Amino acid sequence: MLVVTSAPMDLQSLSRRVREHVLRMVYGAQSGHIGGSFSAADIMAVLYTEVLKHDPQRPDWPQRDRFIMSKGHCTPVQYAILAEMGYLPVEELSTFRKKGTRLQGHSVLGKPAGVDNTAGSLGMGLSFGLGIALGARLRGEDLSTYVLMGDGEQAEGQVWEAAMAAAYHKADRLVAIIDRNKIQNDDFVANQMVSEPLDEKYRAFGWAVRDGLDGHNFEQIAEGLRWARDVQGQPACVIFDTIKGKGVSFMENNPGFHGAAPSADQLAAALQELGVAP
Amino acid sequence: MTTTAPEVAATREALGPTLIRLRNEGLDIVVVDADLGASTSARRFKSEFPDRWFSFGIAEQNMFSAAGGLATMGYTVFASTFAVFAEHAYDQIRMNIAQPNLNVKIVVSHGGVSVGEDGASAQSIEDFALFASLMNFRCIVPADVVEAAAAEECAARTPGPFFIRTGRARTRTLYTDGPKFRLGVADRMREGTDLTIVACGLMVERALDAATALQNEGISARVLNMATIRPLDEEALVAAARETGAIVVAEEHLSHTGLGGMCAQLLASKQPVPMEFVGVPNRYGESGTWSEVLEIMGLTAQGVADAARRVVARK
């Protein structure tokens, strides 16, 4: 399959830059979601450089693969990877959540080009992606649709409406990616709702499932995403175990950094841990 | 639609035949369904174009979100269900259709209290308020089956989201000589000088009957069919207030959040005149035949005529 990206990337440095952007954006806005952006940063880095068929020079290319951000509060990581890919100037990231910006707190379709859905209310992305996949199949287009969800989001009933319908329609170009970071807004997921075992649930709904992959190991991420892309006859779900806040020690596994902005001292400490000059 | 309009028909009956006709004319239509296609009449499309028909089971939230996704692939997407079940998926419609301004046409059937026997939970009395509150949506409440077909064709040929409310009650066909529907333009169905009755849906028939009754008392009532409830035909409404000096708004919906409230807001700032409102009183419905329930709610020609007498007395 044709994969159009910019020059081959050093994934380690790409994901470090993405995390740096996320930190600076959320610090600059004094609001935003670092934890879920960091847990998904490595998945996004691999997806956009090694799996997704896309062309930043032609964001409206009809045959592009679609990426649907269902956990729409994690715009920092989405805008950061889009900027690194060339969909928008890196300098524009500093406008995040500020008056007049294109970069709203939650995803808005087309802002910037490269954002393919509007999001914020959780649980809707898989349905939206299913609609795209069904439409693409009817057109005979050779494209896949990747939907990124959180594990807390799995409590939304609509996710399971979409899961049921995707299997019924044998939507095998639809890929569900679950960023299992184990923390949601108020607390650990396990303290809020029993969403596990996700692998057994998706299998029971008729999906092919890969679970137990490390969402911070580039090789495992690439392997899982490619496996999911190539499944035939049924939709595929790949579940990555991740760490919320991954990359900055005092943010890791800390429900306090779901939606909180860092102080100036915390920003400096975090950048230092990432190995970036403040 | 056949060329000969039936004497009585439910507005819901227009959808299936209209979709088939428009697809045969080459429109890039797909239809999504949540197990009510037989009732909304959309299911007739399935036998003609099975690959363009998508079943979502009894799952309206998923259906409306997926309709948004389908629309991004360039299709004209028709989504139909009962009015109350579109309300069920309000946030999905807001975020996946209205905000991204996608090409989805929501045609609901079984709107209003004239669902009748099914009772209060099945009777939508708040859908005008909900859908008129969604930016980018054009909202239409056809008065008969001929106008319903025309509104659906207009929606199919006009980019962006639409909400069309049809009903189950078999009411009189008013446009026997063919539709006069124009998006955002009220149809002046009867001339009058003492007041104007602004109506939509099955209340247009009742408004016309009321105007006939009032004529015998020497009261001359203009009747405006405000089929497009959003955007309102501001010009026709202001002209009606200026030229007749009194307004009655009649609708099968709560007045304070429906067409009545919207007309009152506009006229308050542009051309204030005495107004009266005929709508669902502040209560939920109950079972009964559709005409019995309309009677209970005061949604009758008599109710409209009474409101007309009140408003004329206030001039």
pLDDT digit of tens for each residue in chain A (278 aa)? 344 444 457 999 999 999 999 999 999 999 999 999 999 999 999 999 999 999 999 999 999 999 999 999 999 999 999 999 999 999 999 999 999 999 999 999 999 999 999 999 999 999 999 999 999 999 999 999 999 999 999 999 999 999 999 999 999 999 999 999 999 999 999 999 999 999 999 999 999 999 999 999 999 999 999 999 999 999 999 999 999 999 999 999 998 888 899 999 999 999 999 998 77
Instruction: At A80, give phi and psi (nearest 5°).
Output: -65, -45
CB contact under 8 A, A131 and B51: no
Across the interface, whether the CB atoms of A130 and B30 are under 8 A apart is answered no
Domain ranges of chain B: 8-172, 187-313
CA gap A58, A50 in Å, rounded: 18
Dihedral sign for Cα atoms in the order A67, A70, A71, A75:
positive
* Set of chain B residues whose Cβ sits within 8 Å of the Cβ of A119: 95
Own/partner long-range contacts of A82-86 (Cβ < 8 Å, ≥24 apart): A82/A56, A82/A112, A82/A114, A82/A115, A83/A21, A84/A14, A84/A17, A84/A18, A84/A21, A84/A48, A85/A5, A85/A6, A85/A48, A85/A54, A85/A56, A85/A114, A86/A6, A86/A56, A86/A57
The CATH number corresponding to A11-274 among 3.40.50.300, 3.80.30.20, 3.40.1280.10, 3.40.50.970 equals 3.40.50.970
Instruction: Give the burial string for A64-97 (b: 16+ CB within 10 Å, else e).
Output: bbbbbbbbbbbbbbbbbbbbbbebbeeebbebbb
Q: Does the beta-carbon distance from A124 to B71 stay under 8 Å?
A: no
Contact A158 B62 (CB under 8 A): yes
On whether the CB atoms of residues A258 and A244 are closer than 8 A, the answer is yes
Q: Which residues of B touch A164 (CB under 8 A)?
A: 57, 59
Integer Cα distance of A214 and B120 in angstroms: 52
Which of A106, A127, A169 is most worth mutating to test chain B (most B CB atoms within 10 A of its CB)?
Answer: A127
Q: Is the pLDDT of residue B2 over 60?
A: no
Percent of chain B beyond pLDDT 70?
Answer: 99
Interface contact flag, B96 A124, Cβ < 8 Å: yes
CB contact under 8 A, B55 and A168: yes
**Among the listed residues A61, A230, A66, the one whose alpha carbon sits nearest the alpha carbon of residue A148:** A66
- Closest C-alpha to B89, from B163, B143, B10, B154: B163
B65: nearest CB among A108, A110, A128: A128
CB B253 within 8 A of CB B265: no
Residues in chain B within 8 Å Cβ distance of A136: 73
Band (B3; pLDDT cuts 50, 70, 90): low
Q: Which pLDDT value is given to residue A1?
A: 39
Cα distance between residue B133 and residue B68, in whole Å: 18
In angstroms, the separation between the Cα of residue A131 and the nearest Cα of chain B is 4
* pLDDT (tens digit per residue) in B63-84: 999 999 999 999 999 999 999 9
Closest partner CB to B65 (pick from A127, A136, A141): A127
Look at residue A173 and give its three-state secondary structure.
Answer: coil
Q: If you measure CA to CA, which chain B residue comes closest to A111?
A: B100
| Average pLDDT for chain B | 97
Interface of chain A toward chain B, CB-CB under 8 angstroms? 108-110, 116-121, 124, 127-136, 138-139, 141, 157-158, 161-162, 164-165, 168-169
ipTM of the complex: 0.96
For domain B187-313, give the fold: Rossmann fold (3.40.50)
Q: Which residues of A touch B67 (CB under 8 A)?
A: 131
Residue boundaries of the structural domains of chain A: 11-274
Closest CA to B204 of B246, B249, B149, B162: B249
Nearest to B78 by CA among B112, B111, B44, B110: B44
Q: pLDDT value at position A277? A: 76
User: What pLDDT sits at residue A2?
Assistant: 43
> In one letter, which amino acid is A59?
P
Q: Annotated catalytic sites of B, by residue? A: 60
Report the length, in residues, of chain A. Answer: 278
- Shortest distance between the Cα of A228 and any Cα of chain B, in A, equals 21
DSSP for A222-267, written as a single string? HHHHHHHHH--SS-EEEEEE--TTTTSTTTTT-GGGSS-PPPHHHH
pLDDT at residue A278 in the model:
72
Q: Which CATH class is domain B8-172?
A: alpha beta
> In the prediction, which pLDDT does A6 show?
47
